[in-house]
């Protein structure tokens, strides 16, 4: 800290000078009036006249300096002149009007507040100077304690007040510095928050997905442009409940979704949504959206809000629909002429005599290839069929497994691979027998096609109170991690299947997954390159699955 602080010429310093110098002049005028009425001759004394002149000069100088660029030491001159004026005035007048000493309180308070340690030094020296000048001028020194107390009381009180003012000013400065620092920190935090908000808004407006954030009370806090566009297409207000519309359809594009089951009410109730497909908007301008949502929680576990993300997948859904329509059209259009071909082949086969062995061998090849084509077309028809209706009945799943094993018996014998059925002898579930048998038969067919002839294909049945499990395992080449991720996709075929020219469209495992999911079941696969591959389907046990009748 410098001896003379820069604050002395700040706006607050000038204000303090004005607030003290004006009362000082008024006090001087008051002293002149009182003394003029009581002892007018004292006003004409040289020291009194000089004191009044110095007071006026100090005021004029103080009024001139704050508006100029002057060093802080210049303001000390004003305080020195004020104290000098008081010392001169009280030299004669104190004998009549002792309270004139109180005039010193104004410049001293100003100096203590404005000039820092320089002001305190000036006050102490000024108080001593006033006492010494009075003694020197009058030539009389107090001899008793009462006389000393009478002479020094007012200067000591003034000194005490100025010291208190000085300490208060220092505390005020420290508080101001802390407030300035806090204000600066708040400004920096506000700037950072605005930058973060701009960054988040920029990111959200850049991504193709619609993103909205609702607070813990369900009030909209943030939504990007894509979210507002999707909401407008659905006829939904993001900023006003109930966040529902009468134009939200299920994935089948026909079933109207009840308001309480629409994605926004579900998300705001706290449900975690993953990949919910819905169609929104009027019939002539429908949009397919894929919605996910999750709740954000604070470190203490309390809910901070809900994030809802919606992707516009209309083009993808339309492309899938075009593909499905194409497959259905092709499979039906090809099946009709092929049925005619196989019919006429049957007539030709009847017309060929047994003695025409070479021609009959050709016919056998043609019949087998026609049957293969019919089977492939049947696979396409099954893969594109939309009939997910289940005809449920309570059955022993072990019997369904045995039926599936019999269906692949010929293929297993041709490849010399035994099929071993293990596990519980009786496992009951409520299922669509035909579809579950198809699913298990498909798993067995894959296991036999790609299994190692040196090892058996095993089928294991077990169950608990909630689930019935059927596992099909084989030893063979196994599947890599990328293959495992895609093996249930439609039309996907592994590199080994292509290299061995194994017939098929890659629809079998996709069909199995569809059947299992239709039963509210699960399917999962365990494999590794060169290791055992196990595919397990889990179906609700008879006691766990609500009765549904197709």
Write out pLDDT tens, residues 82-96. Answer: 888 888 887 778 777
* Contact of 539 with 521, CB cutoff 8 Å: yes
Centre a 10 Å sphere on the Cβ of residue 192 and count the other Cβ atoms it contains.
10
Structure tokens at 123: 């006050």
Kindly indicate the confidence band of residue 263, based on its pLDDT and cuts at 50, 70 and 90: confident
457-463/522-526 β-pairing: unpaired
The DSSP result for 489-519, as a single string, is: STT---HHHHHTT----S-HHHHHHHHHHHT
Angle between helices 508-518 and 433-450 (to 10 degrees): 150
Burial class (CB in 10 A: 0-12, 13-18, 19+), 298: exposed
Q: Is the confidence at residue 432, as pLDDT, over 50? A: yes
Q: CA-CA distance, 450 to 494, in Å (whole number)?
A: 11
Q: Is the confidence at residue 5, as pLDDT, over 50? A: no
% of residues, the chain, pLDDT over 70:
87
Integer angstrom CA distances of residue 534 from 37, 292, 444, 458, 525: 121, 31, 11, 9, 6
Average pLDDT over every residue of 104-132: 75
Angle between helices 116-138 and 105-114 (to 10 degrees): 160
Q: DSSP state, 159?
A: H
Kindly indicate the confidence band of residue 17, based on its pLDDT and cuts at 50, 70 and 90: low
Average pLDDT over every residue of 224-244: 85
Q: Specify the residue for token string 């019939």.
A: 283
Q: Indicate the average pLDDT of the chain.
A: 79
Q: Which residue has the higher pLDDT, 470 or 78?
A: 470
Q: CA-CA distance, 403 to 441, in Å (whole number)?
A: 8
Name the least confident of 150-159, 203-212, 411-420: 150-159
Radius of gyration of the chain (CA): 50
Please choose, from the candidates 279, 273, 278, the residue with its C-alpha nearest in 3D space to the C-alpha of residue 292: 273
Kindly indicate the confidence band of residue 549, based on its pLDDT and cuts at 50, 70 and 90: very low
Burial class (CB in 10 A: 0-12, 13-18, 19+), 267: buried
Kindly indicate the confidence band of residue 342, based on its pLDDT and cuts at 50, 70 and 90: confident
Alpha-carbon torsion 406, 411, 416, 419, what sign?
negative
Kindly indicate the confidence band of residue 384, based on its pLDDT and cuts at 50, 70 and 90: low
The DSSP result for 305-361, as a single string, is: EEEEEEEE-HHHHHHHHHHHHHHHHHHHHHHHHHHHHHHHHHHHHHHS-TT-HHHHH
Q: DSSP state, 257?
A: P
Q: What is the pLDDT of residue 4?
A: 39
Q: What is the pLDDT of residue 367?
A: 81
Q: DSSP state, 9?
A: G
Q: DSSP state, 96?
A: T
Q: CA-CA distance, 519 to 545, in Å (whole number)?
A: 9
Q: What is the pLDDT of residue 535?
A: 92
Name the least confident of 13-22, 201-210, 309-318: 13-22
* Contact of 308 with 290, CB cutoff 8 Å: no
Average pLDDT over every residue of 170-180: 82
Write out pLDDT tens, residues 356-383. Answer: 788 878 888 888 888 878 777 777 776 6
Q: CA-CA distance, 369 to 449, in Å (whole number)?
A: 19
């Amino acid at each position: 800290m410098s001896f003379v602080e820069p604050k002395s010429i700040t706006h607050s310093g000038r204000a303090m000078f004005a607030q003290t110098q004006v009362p000082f002049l008024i006090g001087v005028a008051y002293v002149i009036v009182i003394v003029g009425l009581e002892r007018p001759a004292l006003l004409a004394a040289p020291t009194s006249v000089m004191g009044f002149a110095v007071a006026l000069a100090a005021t004029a100088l103080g009024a001139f300096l704050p508006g100029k660029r002057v060093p802080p030491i210049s303001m000390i001159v004003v305080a020195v002149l004020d104290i000098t004026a008081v010392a001169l005035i009280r030299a004669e007048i104190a004998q009549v009007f002792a309270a004139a000493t109180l005039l010193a309180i104004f410049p001293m308070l100003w100096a203590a507040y404005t000039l820092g340690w320089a002001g305190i030094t000036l006050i102490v020296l000024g108080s001593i100077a006033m006492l010494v000048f009075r003694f020197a001028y009058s030539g009389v020194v107090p001899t008793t304690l009462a006389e000393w107390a009478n002479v020094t009381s007012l200067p000591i009180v003034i000194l005490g007040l100025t010291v208190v003012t000085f300490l208060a000013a220092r505390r005020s400065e420290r508080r101001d510095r802390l407030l300035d620092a806090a204000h600066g920190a708040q400004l920096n935090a506000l700037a950072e928050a605005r930058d973060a908000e701009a960054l988040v808004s920029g990111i959200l407006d850049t991504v193709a997905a619609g993103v909205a954030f609702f607070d813990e009370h369900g009030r909209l806090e943030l939504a990007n442009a894509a979210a507002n566009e999707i909401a407008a297409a659905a006829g939904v207000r993001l900023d006003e409940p109930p966040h529902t519309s009468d134009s939200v359809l299920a994935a089948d594009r026909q079933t109207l979704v009840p308001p309480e089951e629409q994605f926004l009410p579900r998300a705001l109730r706290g449900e975690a949504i993953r990949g919910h497909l819905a169609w929104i908007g009027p019939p002539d301008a429908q949009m397919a959206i894929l919605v996910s949502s999750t709740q954000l929680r604070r470190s203490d576990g309390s809910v901070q809000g809900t994030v809802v993300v919606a992707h516009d997948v209309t083009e993808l859904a339309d492309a899938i629909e075009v593909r499905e329509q194409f497959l259905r059209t092709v499979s039906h259009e090809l099946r009709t002429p092929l049925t005619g071909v196989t019919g006429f082949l049957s007539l030709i086969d009847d017309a060929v005599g047994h003695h025409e062995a070479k021609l009959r061998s050709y016919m056998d090849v043609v019949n087998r290839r026609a049957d293969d084509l019919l089977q492939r077309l049947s696979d396409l028809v099954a893969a594109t069929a939309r009939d997910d209706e289940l005809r449920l009945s309570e059955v022993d799943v072990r019997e369904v497994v045995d039926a599936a094993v019999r269906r692949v018996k010929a293929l297993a014998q041709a490849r010399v691979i035994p099929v071993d059925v293990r596990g519980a002898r009786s496992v009951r579930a409520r299922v669509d027998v035909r579809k579950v048998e198809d699913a298990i038969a498909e798993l067995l067919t894959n296991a036999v096609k790609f299994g190692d002839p040196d090892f058996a294909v095993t089928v294991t049945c077990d169950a608990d109170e909630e689930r019935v499990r059927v596992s099909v395992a084989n030893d063979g080449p196994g599947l890599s991690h990328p293959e495992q991720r895609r093996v249930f996709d439609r039309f996907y075929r592994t590199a080994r299947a292509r290299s061995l020219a194994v017939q098929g469209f890659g629809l079998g495992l996709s069909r199995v997954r569809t059947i299992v999911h239709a039963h509210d079941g699960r399917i999962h696969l365990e494999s590794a390159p060169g290791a055992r591959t196990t595919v397990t389907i889990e179906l609700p046990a008879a006691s766990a699955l609500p009765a549904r009748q197709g």
